[in-house]
Chains A and B, each alone.
Chain A
Amino acid sequence: MATRPAAEIPTAVPPLSLERQVTWPRRTRARLANGLEVVLAESHTIPKFHGELFLRSGNAAAAYRGTGLAEMTATVVRTGTVKRPSRQIEEDLRRLGADLSSHAGADNSAIAFAGLSELAEPLLALVNELAREAAFPEAEFERERRQKLEEVKLDRTQPGFLAGERLRKVLFGVHPYAQVAPTEEQVAAYKRADLLSVYRDFYTPENALLLMVGDFDSAAMLKTIENVFGAWSGSKPTVPPSPEPAKPRGRRVHLVHVPGAVQAQILVGCHAITRRHPDWIKLGLTNSLYGGAFNSRLVMNIREDKGYTYSPRSGVNPLRQYSYFSISAAVRNDVVAASLTEIFYELDKLRALPVPEPELADARNYVSGVFSLGLATQGGLLAQLSTVALNELPDDYLETYRDKVRALTPDDLLSTARKYLDSANMQIVVVGDRTQMEPQAALFGDLDVYDAHGKHFS
């Protein structure tokens, strides 16, 4: 059908030609006298550079003072320094052709930036000013706090947010990783003094890592960095230890009721291992084969065969202290039970039968091949370097990663799935209209029902 006849049609798949050497650029590493750690790599794709100044403390380290406090601090950091008011900061950034964002996750705070190579020094000077001399103007703080109030209300209308929040609560309990966003009451209680103390403790050179990738000469850039950041001072913060996470046993269903929802957001998850664990690469490949790639078992099953969902996927979500594995799919309301059945069928199959060697070879090629795509852009390379540096992985991590992936066998995957992907202990979150979901979800375990604000119904 729909064929255009042609004289000669090549019907065989062309073989792969000889692979070209993948070479990661040389990294220049340094530690300034004030403790600031620096990693630089050259990438001359465009006359620009990308950088990120990480502070190795985020919302988890600030949790005992207030939920989301590191994020709020990062937000207000860009709104004024002792030298420049908010408006001047924004206009100066534009004058430098630069983009800048300040944000915080569970484990780190960061100032991310990108700009023109010819204007690198003034942009670094501004980053230094934000890291050292943020002024937290009262009016700016008050406005950003009111903004945040509206944002946290909006978050609670998004099915993806509600599912992620509930899973983190279930998996981490009293550990700070359970808190993905503050409540309205918590935001209302933020004080400017809280932000100032987080800023004083977290934003220090001993706690910092500066990464830059781009069109520059590394030796010259390092000198510039020494000049710009050399006078910064401060020691590593002391953070009290966090309480142990929940680590729930047994399968349970956690339903978040959204009246009138026309689709069900499924999120299934369990505790996993961090990037520093020796099994990390094995679990990564197992995940890829299960649901981490387009050509994975889960996508083939519930999308390409059954048509239940548009974007099913699985992933390992690495946080510094703990990590978790999760499977997500937004499905038609009437196929919640059918989707969960297939999700668990594919998991159990990985634990029961060795993966056929050709399928494993495909997955190995995928994971090692896409890893090299990161080399081609400044932003991609920056992300890879930050993974290595923030997790304190070995210096040759990038160079040896692909070989480690290629050495994995069907037995490795079988043992990894048996060790980490136990469907009997998976926590099931479903966000949707309770009247449609409840009877289907109840087939998979005891049920808790919540509203979008976390109020427990039953």
Chain B
Amino acid sequence: MHLKISIESATLANGLKVVVAPDTTAPVVTVGVYYKIGFRLEPRGRSGFAHLFEHMMFQGSANAPKMQHIKLINSSGGTLNGSTHYDVTNYFESVPSNALERVLWLEADRMRALKVDDENLRNQRDVVKEEVRVNVLNQPYGGFPWLDLPPIAFRNWANAHNFYGDFGDLDAASLADVQSFFKTYYAPNNAVLLILGDVKADEGLALARKYFGDIPAGAAPPFADPREPEQSEERRGEVEEKFGTLPAMAIGYTVPPRRTTDWCAMALLDQALHGGRAGRMYRHLVLEKQVAVEVDGGIEDIFGYNGPTQMVTKILHKPEYSSDATLGEFDSVMREVQQNGITQDELDQLTVKFRSDYYSTLEGSHGGMPRYGLMHLLACFSLFDNEPQLVNTVLDGFLAVKREDIQSVAKKYLRNDKRAIVFRRPASAQAQEAA
């Protein structure tokens, strides 16, 4: 079975990639602009800056002052947002299709000329700090494990620093930093524009030229080398859990390079281990041994990264079991798949589920935005692979995975000397033990 998603793509003279994916199911369009800049590339001493900068992109551009962008999208009947990832930052809108030109104009205006001041920066620095408090500092298991694990697992600062930002670093961020970051990374030749939904392909490309065509290209941006030195020992760390009642741990193994046979096999193995209640981890730790209360995890956003990333298992376990005992049960699941692999029946189930999940990703909604998933894949395949058509073919590699491939990646990548573990220990339990 082959997918036939209709896609037109082009590169404008200024280097901006454009992808149009027409679909007339509903009279709505989703527009995205992805810049090839994420957490990994933020300047040293400026942890959290890529995300803070994302907020600044909503604070005003040459012809759309503060609040105009949001006001114009909402009042056109649409929704909008942005998000910062490891290797990309995206900005996206879903609107009734009669607002398409307006959305393109707004995105082009802020790509051409961001216009913000110190007041905007102070305001958004405060907003970001409350975001960090509500998501991390004042939440049980806040930042577990996405902020906990990288500093333990990685040695290269690009991969290992605090992506949400130390408050000291956020305070140190200046308007000059904002300007220089914009100039360096927010150029058309470092971005892709995506138009999906109720638009004709030629019309989409013509509008892209009309609004973005005269934005001058920037110098090719410098890229930090995200490569990690070879790991040869298990790495462990601890973080205190301030609010939660259960001890937790997360175990991460770095996954094979993207678009290799091993990568496809690893994705299916990930499903075998973490695919919901049928997954081996949940079944063993929660249903059978009843050591854990919650187990989930896996390779997050497998198509959306372009540097070292991990398959992570997250476990919240019962206090009556020690960390060692819990880890022992986790290890027995890993050992089983390394020694005996998986059955053909299990593999057949996994491939059907993988295909079904992939369709859902394509249609997928993100806060009510149709086709967010297709947009995300087209953007990453454009920026990382220069090959948006991969959305139609990438599935084939996963469906071709064989049983022996899965056992082989289990042995090769799921090794103790290649993993990192973080333990979250509840402060209340520690206080009790001390008393």
Residues in chain A within 8 A of chain B (CB atoms):
1-22, 43-48, 86-87, 90-91, 93-99, 114-116, 119, 143, 146-147, 150-151, 153-154, 157-159, 258, 260-263, 265, 293-295, 300, 303-311, 330-332, 361-363, 365-366, 368-370, 372-380
Q: Is B244 an interface residue (CB 8 A)?
A: yes
Q: Are A94 and B353 in contact (CB under 8 A)?
A: yes
Q: With a CB–CB cut-off of 8 A, which chain A residues contact B99?
A: 16, 369
Partner of A158, one of B23, B139, B277: B139
In the bound complex, residues from chain B placing their C-beta under 8 Å from that of A373 are 26, 28, 78-79, 94, 368-370
Encode contact with A along B251-295: 1 for CB under 8 Å, 0 otherwise: 000000000000000000000000111100001001100100100
Residues of B within 8 A of A43 (CB): 25
State whether B77 touches A380 (Cβ < 8 A): no
Is the Cβ of A307 less than 8 Å from the Cβ of B28?
no
Q: How far is the CA of A105 from the CA of B360 in the complex (A)?
A: 25
Task: Answer whether A95 and B370 are a contact pair too, CB < 8 Å, given A3-B113, A13-B105.
Answer: no
Give the interface residue-count category, chain B.
35 or more
Beyond the given A310-B134, A372-B96, please list 17 additional residue pairs across the A-B interface where CB-CB is below 8 A: A3-B113, A13-B64, A13-B102, A43-B25, A93-B278, A94-B278, A157-B244, A295-B70, A300-B67, A307-B126, A361-B75, A362-B74, A366-B78, A372-B77, A375-B25, A376-B370, A377-B365
> In the complex, what's the smallest C-beta–C-beta distance from B96 to chain A, in angstroms?
5
Give every chain B residue within 8 A of A96 (Cβ-Cβ). 352
**Of A45, A154, A309, A310, which one neighbours B244 at CB under 8 angstroms?**
A154
Do the beta carbons of A376 and B28 come within 8 Å of each other? yes
Chain A to chain B contacts (Cβ below 8 Å), 29 pairs = A1-B115, A2-B179, A3-B112, A6-B112, A6-B215, A9-B62, A9-B63, A13-B72, A14-B101, A16-B99, A18-B98, A19-B96, A45-B25, A46-B362, A94-B349, A95-B352, A119-B352, A150-B318, A258-B243, A265-B138, A295-B70, A307-B130, A332-B129, A369-B77, A369-B95, A370-B368, A373-B369, A376-B28, A377-B370
CB distance from B241 to the nearest CB of A (A): 9
Encode B64-95 as 1/0 by CB contact (under 8 A) with A: 10110011111111111000000000000011
Q: Which of A7, A8, A87, A159 contacts B138 (CB 8 A)?
A: A159
- How far, in whole Å, are A370 and B93 apart by their CA atoms in the complex? 11
| Residues of A with C-beta under 8 A to B79 | 294, 370, 373
B359 touches which of A22, A46, A375 (Cβ 8 Å)? A46
Given contacts A2-B178, A263-B134, A311-B131, contact A97 B356 (CB under 8 A): yes
> Which chain B positions have C-beta within 8 A of A22?
26-27, 96
The answer to whether A94 touches B275, judged by C-beta atoms less than 8 angstroms apart, is: yes
CA distance A153 to B429 in the complex (A): 14
Q: Mark B360-381, 1 if CB is under 8 A from A, else 0.
A: 1011110011110000000000
A377 to B374, CA, bound (A): 12
Assembly CA distance A12 to B77 (angstroms): 19
- The reply to whether B27 and A86 contact each other, CB–CB distance below 8 Å, is no
Is B416 an interface position by the 8 A CB rule? no
B118-143 CB contacts (< 8 Å) to partner A:
122-131, 133-134, 137-140
Tell me if B130 and A369 are in contact (CB < 8 A): no
Inside 8 A of A154's CB, which chain B residues have their CB? 140, 244-246, 293, 316
B191 within 8 Å of A (CB atoms): no
Partner of A2, one of B26, B115, B352, B365: B115
B:162-188 near A, CB below 8 Å: 175, 178-179, 182-183, 187
CB of B163 to closest CB in A, whole Å: 16
**How near does chain B come to A449, taking the closest CB pair, in angstroms?**
19
Residue of A nearest to B102 (CB): A14
4 cross-chain pairs, A with B, having the tightest CB-CB distances, nearest first: A369-B77, A97-B356, A307-B126, A376-B370
A263-B137, A303-B127, A373-B28 are known contacts. Are A95 and B244 too (CB-CB below 8 A)? Answer: no
Q: Which of A17, A157, A260 contacts B101 (CB 8 A)?
A: A17
Contact, CB under 8 Å: B113 / A294: no
Of B129, B140, B178, B216, which one neighbours A4 at CB under 8 angstroms? B216
**Contact B127 A307, beta carbon cutoff 8 Å:** yes
